[in-house]
């Protein structure tokens, strides 16, 4: 049969974002995939060069609107390194808790949309949204807004934690732990879910490293690599947690890694809450307008384990504005491996594979 | 570098220092967890650099981004279309010489 070329998009092929694929198919078998990105390109790196340091965090939040606080924190951490500022001890604990809650919110949304994409319609999706909304409510009460927090300041947070923060966090951990355990009954015993994910989009260990994928995608291919373990920041070296690693490298393994990460995040949060003083401690950060020249290093490299993978900022600081900010967006790298995963598979599997990578286009295109 | 265990290419980026360009390779060793930064200085006029695609497949999109955003010609790889935008004969946008009117204080 002759090879046929199909254009997919530019629409949402799965969820959140705009992607165009040009797919060559022979019958139902995918021969070649070409990705076209850039529909959401806003020139964030260039914009950052024209704004003062603390005018930029809101741009970073829009890079990944499923976990805005993670990018916010990564950028502020880079600014802190440029200034030589230290983060208050209580604020380190508080940031860890908030980041892990953000990770849970991100993974919940991802599980819901993945289940939606591959035919487990709406039940799990609504459950995930329900549980995510509990998390967002807590983050809203901490930061003041539901999605884009802009909550990080140099050395701490923009305001003290609310008085009932610790009690509510404990309750929330219990609720999430109980609810998320239920997903397993619906998903992992669901024949359709398993058939669509197992042995689909297999990425070998060697390829995963060579293609430079990161985060859950890398760990699902058998590489034990997590910035929280390999270069611990904040209190990650003081809390006990495991890094879920799977060897199969297929879409199902990527789902399992993220699913188990939710429970590890809850474990981290519970330990971190015990380190926090009863009144929430002093977490207030400073309002910084510019960086004085003597403290200026030549370059700053900040690395963080974002929910979607490894985030990195390479910054050349200058006095008032950053001279250059370069971002390593996990989605940018993880998406580059999509053609490799899809070729040789079925056309319908493209969307299962794409969904399993957890791509968000705002950070891919920047 | 790759032979000494740096098997993971984290990032390729570039910085425009006006007099010269600097291409930055951030490499990582997944066994020893060591990170290494390699910088290459290039002239501002007609910058060219060799591709590292044969060593790291991760370089593909980064090198296309260098071509597009900094106008750096990457040699020794198959030519592909620009990555993000189909620019129409404009200057490389991430160069400092790029003329743009986006500064709100001047509008």
| The residue to which tokens 């923060």 are assigned | A165
B9·A212 Cβ contact <8 A: yes
Phi, psi of A152 (to 5 degrees): -90, 135
Q: Are A213 and A333 in contact (CB under 8 A)?
A: yes
- Say yes or no to pLDDT of A175 above 70: yes
Q: Supply the Cα-derived Rg of chain B in whole angstroms.
A: 16
Interface of chain A toward chain B, CB-CB under 8 angstroms: 37-38, 41, 43, 45-47, 50, 207, 209-212, 223, 225, 230-231, 299, 301, 303, 310, 312, 314, 316, 323-324, 326, 328, 332-333, 336, 365
**Which has the minimum average pLDDT: A84-93, A333-342, B97-106?**
B97-106
Which pLDDT value is given to residue A289? 67
Q: Which residue has the higher pLDDT, A174 or B47?
A: A174
Domain tally, chain A: 1
User: CB neighbours (10 Å) of residue B15?
Assistant: 20
- Residues pairing with B13 in the sheet: B24
Task: Enter the ipTM.
Answer: 0.80
Assigned token pair, A303 = 């690395």
- Give chain B positions within 8 Å (CB) of A210: 7, 56-58
HSE (CB half, 13 Å, CA atoms) of A63? 34
Dihedral, CA atoms, A177, A178, A182, A184, nearest 10 degrees? 30
- Say yes or no to pLDDT of A71 above 80: yes
Q: Are A322 and A315 in contact (CB under 8 A)?
A: yes
Spatial distance between the Cα atoms of A150 and A145, rounded to a whole number of angstroms: 9
Mean per-residue pLDDT for A183-188? 84
> C-alpha angle with apex A47: A46 to A50, nearest 5 degrees?
100
HSE (CB half, 13 Å, CA atoms) of A319? 3
CA distance B9 to chain A (A): 6
Crossing angle for the helix pair A251-275 and A89-117, to the nearest 10 degrees = 150
Q: Are A307 and A215 in contact (CB under 8 A)?
A: yes
Interface of chain B toward chain A, CB-CB under 8 angstroms: 7-11, 13-16, 24, 26, 30, 33, 35, 37, 56-58, 60-61, 83-85, 93-94, 98, 100, 102-103
**Which has the minimum average pLDDT: A35-49, A208-222, A276-290?**
A276-290
Q: Supply the Cα-derived Rg of chain A in whole angstroms.
A: 21
| The residue to which tokens 């819901």 are assigned | A112
Q: Are B21 and B32 in contact (CB under 8 A)?
A: no
A210·B10 Cβ contact <8 A: no
> C-alpha angle with apex A172: A169 to A177, nearest 5 degrees?
125
Domain segments of chain B as ranges: 8-75
Mean per-residue pLDDT for A146-170? 86
Q: Which fold does the domain B8-75 belong to in CATH?
A: Beta Polymerase; domain 2 (3.30.460)
Mean per-residue pLDDT for A242-261? 89
| Nearest by Cα to B70 from B48, B50, B101 | B48
Q: Name the residue among B11, B83, B102 with its Cβ closest to that of A37.
A: B83
**Peptide bond preceding A10: is omega within 30 degrees of 0, i.e. cis?**
yes
- Say yes or no to pLDDT of A173 above 80: yes
pLDDT above 70 as % of chain A: 96
Please, which residues have CB within 8 angstroms of residue B37's CB and are 6 or more apart in sequence?
A299, A301, B24, B25, B26, B27
Mean pLDDT for all residues in chain A: 85
The model's pTM is 0.86
Mean pLDDT for all residues in chain B: 78
Q: Are A204 and A187 in contact (CB under 8 A)?
A: no
Which pLDDT value is given to residue B107? 42
- DSSP per position, A225-273: --HHHHS--TTTTTS-------SS-SHHHHHHHHHHHHHHHHHHHHHHH
Residue range(s) defining the domain that contains residue A206: 4-365
Assigned token pair, A295 = 């403290």
CATH of the domain at A118: 1.10.645.10
Which pLDDT value is given to residue B87? 63
């Amino acid at each position: 049969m002759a090879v046929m070329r199909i254009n997919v998009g530019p629409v949402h092929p799965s969820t959140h974002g705009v992607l165009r694929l040009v797919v060559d198919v022979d019958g139902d078998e995918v021969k070649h995939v070409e990705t076209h990105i850039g529909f959401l390109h806003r020139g964030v790196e260039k914009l950052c060069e024209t704004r003062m340091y603390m005018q930029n965090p809101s741009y970073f939040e829009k890079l990944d609107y499923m976990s805005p606080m993670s990018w916010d924190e990564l950028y502020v951490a880079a600014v802190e390194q440029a200034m030589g500022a230290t983060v208050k001890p209580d604020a380190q604990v508080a940031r860890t808790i908030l980041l892990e809650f953000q990770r849970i919110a991100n993974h919940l949304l991802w599980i819901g949309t993945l289940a939606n994409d591959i035919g487990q319609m709406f039940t799990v999706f609504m459950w995930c949204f329900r549980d995510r909304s509990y998390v967002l409510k807590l983050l809203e009460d901490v930061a003041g807004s539901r999605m884009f927090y802009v909550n990080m300041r140099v050395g701490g947070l923009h305001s003290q934690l609310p008085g009932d923060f610790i009690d509510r966090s404990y309750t929330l951990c219990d609720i999430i732990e109980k609810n998320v355990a239920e997903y397993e009954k619906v998903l992992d015993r669901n024949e359709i879910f398993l058939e669509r994910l197992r042995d689909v989009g297999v990425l070998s260990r060697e390829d995963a490293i060579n293609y430079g994928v990161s985060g859950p995608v890398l760990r699902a291919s058998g590489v034990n690599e997590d910035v929280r373990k390999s270069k611990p920041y904040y209190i990650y070296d003081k809390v006990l947690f495991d890094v879920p690693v799977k060897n199969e490298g297929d879409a199902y393994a990527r789902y399992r890694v993220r699913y188990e990460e939710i429970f590890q995040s809850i474990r981290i949060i519970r330990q971190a809450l015990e380190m926090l003083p009863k009144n929430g401690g002093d977490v207030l950060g400073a309002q910084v307008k510019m960086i004085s020249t003597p403290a200026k290093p030549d370059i700053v490299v900040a690395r963080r384990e974002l929910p979607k993978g490894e985030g990195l900022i390479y910054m050349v600081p200058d006095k008032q504005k950053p001279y250059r900010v370069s971002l390593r967006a996990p989605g940018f790298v993880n998406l580059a491996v999509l053609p490799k995963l899809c070729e040789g598979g079925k056309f319908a599997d493209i969307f299962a594979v794409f969904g399993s990578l957890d791509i968000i286009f705002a950070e891919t295109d920047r | 570098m790759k032979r000494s265990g740096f098997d993971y290419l984290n990032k390729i980026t570039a910085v425009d220092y006006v007099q010269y360009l600097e291409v930055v390779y951030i490499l990582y060793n997944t066994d020893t967890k060591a990170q290494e930064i390699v910088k290459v200085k290039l002239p501002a006029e007609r910058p060219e650099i060799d591709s590292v695609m044969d060593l790291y497949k991760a370089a593909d999109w980064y090198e296309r981004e260098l071509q597009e955003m900094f106008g750096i010609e990457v040699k020794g790889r198959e030519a592909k279309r620009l990555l993000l935008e189909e620019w129409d004969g404009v200057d490389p946008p991430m160069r400092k010489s790029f003329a743009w009117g986006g500064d709100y204080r001047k509008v």
